[in-house]
Structure 1
Amino acid sequence: MNRAVRSAAVVVIAVSLLGGGAAAAFAEPAQLHAPKPIVATAPVAAQLTAKASATTVHAWQEFRISGTAKGIKAGTEVTVQQKQGAKWVSLPAQAPVNTSGTYSVRVKLGLKGVNQLRIGAGSAISPVVSVTVR
């Protein structure tokens, strides 16, 4: 092999190694340009839990609803909702989700009887919690 051919071969191999490693230096052209598979992962569905600190309270007595928020970004406000007739109404009781994914909301109710409450954040809704006001 003459000197010019050897030099050209060395240059081609060196450029290939610099451009893509050893596999690129000796790979078939189809292997160099084949797209890598994309693996899609589904986002975590937002989930809320809720638990009242008391099941029976006096009118306007403060209690807490606390729980966990999975798939919900820290700092997002969760809101207490109360069932009034056939509708769920948001109450002026909110708290942010903290960095550990939990929340705790202070609540005072004046509507006597069994109150059905839940926590909402965006489209995520917790299971219903019942608190009786006397």
Structure 2
Amino acid sequence: MNRALRYATVGVIAVSLLAGGSAAAFAAPQDLHSPKQVVASAPAAATLTAKASATTVKAWEQFRITGVAKGIKAGTKLTVQQKQGTKWVSLPAQTPVNSSGAYSVRVKLGIKGVNQLRMATGSTLSPVVTVTVR
């Protein structure tokens, strides 16, 4: 191959690389101008369900909150949160998500009246469950 042809080939490849990346340098001419559809799929949003085993309990009586975590890795710790005034406060009650996505945690409450509770991990929150303490 003579020197002029080599320089011309290198020039065409260099221009193609600068114009459209390495795929354009080696693509067939019909592929250069036919855009391929790129479909990006977002990961499924993580969700938590929650259900209390009792709606009314005595002060410091144990009950359970159970549910299912979808889109959350097994072993991830879930924390019970209680609404106190206008703030959600994390209680010292945690449980891991098992391999099937289920969880169960024992809870005891001493604040009498209607208590709003939820499960949380990161920014994923369950719906609120209400338990009344007598």
TM-score by length of 2: 0.73
Q: Could you say what the CA RMSD is over the residues aligned between the two structures, in angstroms? A: 1.9
For structure 1, which runs of at least 5 residues remain unmatched after alignment? 1-27
Residue 102 of structure 2 corresponds to which residue in structure 1?
102
Residue 58 of structure 2 corresponds to which residue in structure 1?
58
Residue 28 of structure 2 corresponds to which residue in structure 1?
29
Deviation at 1:113, TM superposition (A): 0.8
Matches within 5 A, 1:112-123: 112-123=112-123
Across the two proteins, how many residue pairs are aligned to each other?
107
Residue 124 of structure 2 corresponds to which residue in structure 1?
124
Q: State the SS of the aligned residue for 2:106.
A: strand
Provide, for residues 44-70 of structure 1, a one-character-per-residue CA deviation record: whole Å limited to 9, x for no partner.
111111000000111111110010111
Q: State the SS of the aligned residue for 2:98.
A: coil
Query: Quick check: which has more Rg, 1 or 2?
Result: 1
- Structure 1 residues 79-88 or 33-42, which shifts more? 33-42
Deviation at 1:29, TM superposition (A): 2.8
Question: 1:87 aligned to 2:87?
Answer: yes
Residue 111 of structure 1 corresponds to which residue in structure 2?
111
TM-score by length of 1: 0.73
| Separation in structure 1 between the aligned mates of residue 44 and residue 63 of structure 2, nearest angstrom | 30
| Separation in structure 2 between the aligned mates of residue 30 and residue 66 of structure 1, nearest angstrom | 60
Amino acid at match of 1:56: T
For structure 2, which runs of at least 5 residues remain unmatched after alignment? 1-26
Taking only the aligned residue pairs, the percentage that are identical comes to 73
Which aligned segments of 4 or more residues in structure 1 are displaced greater than 2 angstroms?
A: 28-39
| Separation in structure 1 between the aligned mates of residue 41 and residue 72 of structure 2, nearest angstrom | 17
Deviation at 1:41, TM superposition (A): 1.1
| Separation in structure 2 between the aligned mates of residue 79 and residue 124 of structure 1, nearest angstrom | 11
Residue 71 of structure 1 corresponds to which residue in structure 2?
71
